[in-house]
Every structure is written in structure tokens, then in C-alpha cells.
Amino acid sequence: MYNYHLLEDRDILCIDQKSFFASVSCVEKGLNPMETKLAVVADTKRQGSVVLAATPALKKLGIKTGSRLFEIPHRKDIYIINPSMRRYLEVALKISKIVLRYVSPKDLYQYSIDEFFMDVTDSYFHFNTTLHAFCDRLIKEILEETGIHCAIGIGSNMLLSKIALDNEAKIQSNGLAEWRYSDVPTKVWSIQPLSNFWGIRKRTEEKLNKRGIFKIGQLAQYPCSLLKRELGVIGVDLHLHANGIDQSKMNEQYQTCTPSLCKSQILMRDYTYNECKVVMQELIEEVASRLRARKKLAKTISFSFGYKDGQVVSKQYTLQSGTNLDKDIF
């Protein structure tokens, strides 16, 4: 097994803004995000439109991210609105500015619009005597200045802070949970099903289930050599993660060995075939423009389409010679 005494034990926070899109929309209307039943829907005019976010009160009725508009009960106390991405980005930026009062940019990692990591190992004690007191302070400031409620996972590394957030902090009344290396056997290993663990998706879960692995504890104790032989490099990563080990650092800049350029776009409604062609043309034109700006050529082209039911179609092809012209790619 692993010797945790040889690993760096830092104070990493993983912070999530609860039901972010829905909460921002509530605050804009002067409503309490924790009491109001509100859903942000991609297109309120289409009954099959996807719910992008729902407040905690609406989630209690079974409506959550990924639900459909037609599933939402027709009630006067339920608000259904379209998204306001510009406003969501403004609030996210405001929260980032609050956080940067306490850490330098290199100690902040934005994981998504509503979730980020902070390394406060060398800074929290300048503001509070304990780590939990610092977290309480941060939660309070964000709430007072934006109206958004937060939950914070505390861990010895980024992985432990993330799974502490997902599996405990989000259901705690104070929004806090702390998982250290010493908690791995009692907390990390008890996680099941496997897909409740960050980084393990359904397909990987099915592969592991076929090997008799149903809990993170079983994954942690499964021979690493067998995981590597059966799953490749990902098997080694899974074994490390199941044992609470993550050696990634926020302030390390990743250098790609095989540079690639990409562009993606999330569509807020169902698109027809011809509409999709227009979007593809626009994306290709932008990528080709970036290639020309860098004086680079590309030979391998790949693309993928994701459908509202979760299905993804991906294709890839290689040109005979490199190009940076969109007419050669499209």
C-alpha cells in the first residue's frame, strides 16, 4: 500500500456555487434561491427543452439538471425562465474577484463556471486562526456580495477536496466537509456506486463491475498491476485515486506534446441538419483562422456531435497533406 507520510499534505478547497444558474436567476428577481422553485430551461417555448439548472426547492419535486420542460408541474409557485449567460459570467467573475482577495492567481484553478479550486496552504492563516473559520468567512462574503450560496470541500489534494465536496459538503447544513489522507479508509473507500466517485463514468464502472469491483475500497485493494494490464494507464490512475492520491498541482503549467486546436459550442435548442451545417462551418472557419495565425497546418481532423439524450457521435479522418484552409476541411 501507499505511504501517505511521503505525500505533500496541502490545504486545498473545492468550492461549488449551489445551483448556480438557477440561483443567479433567483437573485436577479429578488427571490431567495434556497426557498424558490425555479428552473432555467434552454428554451421555454419547446416542451422537450432541457432543464439547465433547478433550485434546491424544485429538486425536491424531482426536477433536476437534464430533466425536460414537460416534466415540470404546472404550478403558480414554479418559475420557468430562459438562461442569461452574460449575467452568469458576470457573477462568476465577481466571485473570482472575491476569491483573489485571499490567494494569488496561480493558487486559483477555475474548474467550471460554478466550481473552482483554491490552494490556501500558505494564505488562510493570515485571515483566520483556523481553516474552517476561513471557509466560513469566504462562504459568508460570497453570499453577502452576490446572494449565491456555496459549499466547500477541504482536502489534502485536489482530488480529496473534490470528492469531499461531492459526497459530503453539499448535504451538510454548513456546506463544509474535510477529507484528509487519514479519512481514506473510512470515507473514500465507502463510496458506492463507483460512478459516485469523481472521474469514473458509467462505461468504466461497468468494466470494473465485471471484475467484481463495486466499491471504491475494492478498487483500492485490487492489484494495480492487473488494473494496468486490463485498462492501461487509466488503471494506474484509478488505483491511485481510489487510495486518495492525486499529485497534480494547480500552479504547474501543462505543456502539450502534440498541439491541437479545437473549438466547441453548446446549442441552446435542437438544431436542424442545415442549421448544424452552418454552425460547423463557423467553427471550422474559426479554427482555420487560428491555424493561419500560428502559421501551422493540420492533417488529422476530428469532430463530434452530442445529442440531448446523451448520445455522442465522433468521427476522424486524415488529409493527404496539411492545410489551414476551411474549404479543405469542410
Catalytic residues: 115
Please give, one letter per residue, the 3-state secondary structure of 215-251.
Answer: CHHHHHHCCHHHHHHHHCHHHHHHHHHHCCCCCCCCC
Distance linking the first and last C-alpha atoms of the chain: 52
Spatial neighbors of 262 by CB under 8 A, at least 6 apart, are 287
Q: How far apart are CA 134 and CA 117, in angstroms?
A: 15
Which of 155, 184, 185 is closest to 169 using CA atoms?
Answer: 155
Q: How far apart are CA 218 and CA 251, in angstroms?
A: 32
Q: Cα 80 vs. chain centroid, distance in angstroms?
A: 24
